[in-house]
Chains A and B, each alone.
Chain A
Amino acid sequence: MTAVVDINRTLGPLPHDDVPSRDETGLVTELDRLRIDAACVSHSYAVHGDPRDGNAELTRVADPRLWPVPVLVPGPLGTGPWAGGAPLVRLCPRRHGWAVTGPHARELFAGLAASGTAVLLPFDEVTTGEVHRLAAAVPAPRVVLTGTGYRALRQLAELLDAHPSLYVDTSTLCGHRQVEWVAEHYGAHRVLFGTGAPVTDDAGPRHLLDTLDLPAHDTALIAGGNALELMGGGP
C-alpha cells in the first residue's frame, strides 16, 4: 500500500474529552501506532474556539507529518481575505455562525476556487441543499464532505452524482460495504481516507482500509493517493 494520509484530523485539546492528541507528541504517537503516515490537521482552538487563535497555533506545528489545515470564516469578522496559504482548509459554518449561501461566503468560495484550494466540509455543518448550491457555483472549489455518517448514503449518492467537485471521506462512512459502494459507483478517486479523530474513531476506519474489497490501485487512491493529489503532493 502507498502512503496512508488521514485527511480529517484535529490537533489540540477538546472541551468534552481527554484525548491523546491534545499535543503534537501525542498525536504523532497515535499516528505511529495506527500506521498512518501523515495527517491533515486543524487545531481544536480553530474549531471549538476562535478560528484565528487555532490557525495561529497551527503555525507552531513542527512535525512534517502534520499538514496544517486552517479553518476559515468569511466576512469582515472572519479570518480575513484568503490568499491561498494552504492547499486545504476547513469550514464550520454552523458552529461558527455564518451563512453558506450569503454574499460573504460566495466571495470566500470564489477565492478558494480561484486559488485551487480544497475544502473540508463537515456534513453536519450544512444541509444537503446548501451543498448542492455551493457545488453548483461556477467556479466551485473541490469539497471533501466529512462525517457523512452511515445513514445519509442516499443524499450522498445524489450529491456525488450531480457534482464532480465533491468528494467524501471515510470517517463515518461506516455502513456495511458503503466505502466499496461509493468507490464502485463514483470512482475511488472520489473517496479519501479520513478519521475525524479524536471526535470520531480512528481505529475502525484504519482497519477498514486494510480490508477493503477493492482493486489495489483503488485502495491506494483512497489510502493516500487522492489526498496527495488534493494537497499537491504534500503540505
Chain B
Amino acid sequence: MDVIDAHGHIGRWGAFAVTDGSARSLVAMMDRCGVATACVSHLLAVGPDARAGNALLVEALGAHPGRLLGWAVYQPHDPQGPERLRDLLDVPGVIGVKLHPEVHETALDDRAYTPAFEAAAEHGRLVLAHSQHGGAWSDARHFAAVSPRHPGVPLLMGHAGLFPQGLRAAMEAAARCPDLVLETCGSRMTARHLTRMVAGVGAHRVAFGSDAVFLDLRAGLGRVLLADLPEEDRERVLHGTMDELLKGVV
C-alpha cells in the first residue's frame, strides 16, 4: 500500500452536505481502498476561518501520524497570514501551502500570494492551488504567470483545470513551467482525459488526487487504476510523482 493522495480534505462545507468529513472516516476509506497517505487541508480553513481550520488540521495530523499529511491554508486577507504560515510549515507533517483563489477572490498571480510562495521556498515545501479553467482567479494562465516567479517551488495545479475543456491549457502551462505538476481530481475528470494528460506531459508531471472528502476517494482512485495507462506510468501517478516531491519534506 503506497498510494499517495495529493489532494484531500477533512471537515464540512457550506454549499452541500458532506456526510462524514471526519479524519477518522477518511482514514477508514483509505484503508478500504489501499491508500497509504493523504495530503489534506481542513475545509474550515479553505472556507471562512483559516486560523481555526489550520489548528484543526494540526490536531488531525497528530491523531493520524503517517497517514495524513497537511496542506496549511494561506489566507491572503489575514494580516498575520505570512507569520502564521511560517509557523505552520514548521509543524511535523505539514508539507506545504494550500491556496484557493476562487474562495479568496484573489487571482493566483496576485502579489497577495507572494508571501505564501516565499514561505514555501524558504521551508522547502510545496504549493497546491485550486484551478478552474476560464475563471478570473485560477485559470491555467495564472499558474503560468506565477510559477516562473518562484523557481524550484513545486506548484500543484489542483484539478488540472477542473473542466475537460481546460485540460489542454493546463498541459500547455505545464510544458512551459517546469515546476508545475498536474493533479487529477474533479467530478468532470475522466480516465480518458487522464490518459491524455499523462501522454501530453509525462507521468512524472501528474499526481493522483481525489478531493476526498468532497468527493469519494474511490472514484478518483478508480480513474487511475482503470485508465488505459502503461503500468509504469500508473505507478508514477499513484505515488511516484509525490514520492519525488516529498523527498526531504517528510
Which A positions have Cβ atoms within 8 angstroms of B? 16-17, 19-20, 33-34, 149-154, 172, 174-179, 181, 197-198, 200-208, 210-211, 213
Kindly name the residue among A16, A34, A208, A213 whose own CB sees the greatest number of chain B CB atoms within 10 A: A208
Collect the chain A residues with CB atoms within 8 Å of residue B32's CB: 211, 213
CB-based contact B15/A176 at 8 Å: no
- Rounded to whole angstroms, the CA-CA distance of A176 and B226 in the bound complex is 20
CB-based contact A202/B190 at 8 Å: yes
Which B positions have Cβ atoms within 8 angstroms of A? 15-21, 25-26, 29, 32-33, 164-165, 187-192, 212-223, 225-228
Collect the chain B residues with CB atoms within 8 Å of residue A16's CB: 165
CB-based contact B19/A203 at 8 Å: no
Collect the chain B residues with CB atoms within 8 Å of residue A17's CB: 164, 192
List 13 A–B pairs whose Cβ atoms lie within 8 Å, in order of A's numbering: A17-B192, A150-B16, A176-B19, A176-B20, A176-B215, A200-B188, A201-B190, A201-B223, A203-B191, A204-B216, A204-B219, A206-B222, A211-B222
Collect the chain B residues with CB atoms within 8 Å of residue A176's CB: 18-21, 25-26, 29, 212-217
- Rounded to whole angstroms, the CA-CA distance of A34 and B223 in the bound complex is 11
- Rounded to whole angstroms, the CA-CA distance of A179 and B218 in the bound complex is 11
Collect the chain A residues with CB atoms within 8 Å of residue B221's CB: 204, 207
Collect the chain A residues with CB atoms within 8 Å of residue B16's CB: 150-154, 175
CB-based contact A174/B190 at 8 Å: no
Give the 6 A-B residue pairs with the shortest CB-CB distance, closest first. Answer: A207-B222, A204-B219, A203-B226, A203-B191, A176-B213, A201-B190
CB-based contact B216/A178 at 8 Å: yes
User: Residue on B with the closest CB to A17?
Assistant: B164
CB-based contact B17/A154 at 8 Å: yes
- Rounded to whole angstroms, the CA-CA distance of A181 and B215 in the bound complex is 13
In the complex, how many angstroms separate the beta carbon of B125 from the nearest chain A beta carbon?
Answer: 27
CB-based contact A207/B219 at 8 Å: yes
- Rounded to whole angstroms, the CA-CA distance of A197 and B191 in the bound complex is 10
CB-based contact B222/A203 at 8 Å: yes
Collect the chain A residues with CB atoms within 8 Å of residue B217's CB: 176
